[in-house]
Amino acid sequence: MLMSPMEGGAMPKPSEDAKAAFTKLVPAGPTVTLRPMFGNLAAFVTCNMFAGLFGEDLFVRLPETESAAVRRQGGRDFAPMAGRAMKGYVTVPTTWRAKTEATNGWIVTALELTGRMPPKVLAKKTGGKKPEKR
């Protein structure tokens, strides 16, 4: 039985090498951003997440037909909490850093799929300090 990375209660953290490899994979673009997420790193297009790290694992948003193909190659459903898979996301095989051609394909497909979604409108934060006027 596979254990979820969260079963011990600790959020897995990526190594600096994993973050550097992920950063190199994410294409630059005016609507693409990288930002930290729960101690990990995620990529967004128009504020919708399309890929990210969860510890040393890489996950991507793919259509079901492509997710099934990734699972047949050794990937699995992305489930940051045991029994709670995130619909539409798949964790790619652990060889993602060595097999850059396949990984690039998954990243590009995830970016294209997610880029067709309507831009997400982020909720305004309440409380705290007001931003400084310049």
pLDDT (tens digit per residue) in 105-114: 999 999 999 9
Distance CA 48, CA 114 (A): 7
Question: Which residue(s) pair with 53 in the sheet?
Answer: 58
Mean pLDDT for the stretch of residues 107-134:
74
Q: Decide: pTM greater than 0.85.
A: no
Say yes or no to pLDDT of 54 above 50: yes
Tokens of 93: 């095989």
Mean pLDDT for the stretch of residues 3-31:
83
Mean pLDDT for the stretch of residues 89-111:
95
First to last CA, the chain: 56
Question: Which residue(s) pair with 44 in the sheet?
Answer: 33, 49
What rounded mean pLDDT belongs to the chain? Answer: 86
CB burial of residue 110 (10 Å; 0-12, 13-18, 19+): buried
Superfamily of 16-115 according to CATH = YgaC/TfoX-N like chaperone (3.30.1460.30)
Domains in the chain: boundaries: 16-115
Q: How confident is the model at residue 31 (pLDDT cuts 50, 70, 90)?
A: very high
pLDDT the model gives residue 81: 81
pLDDT the model gives residue 91: 97
Three-class SS state of 49: strand
Q: How confident is the model at residue 79 (pLDDT cuts 50, 70, 90)?
A: confident
Which run of H or of E encompasses 54?
strand 48-54
Three-class SS state of 20: helix
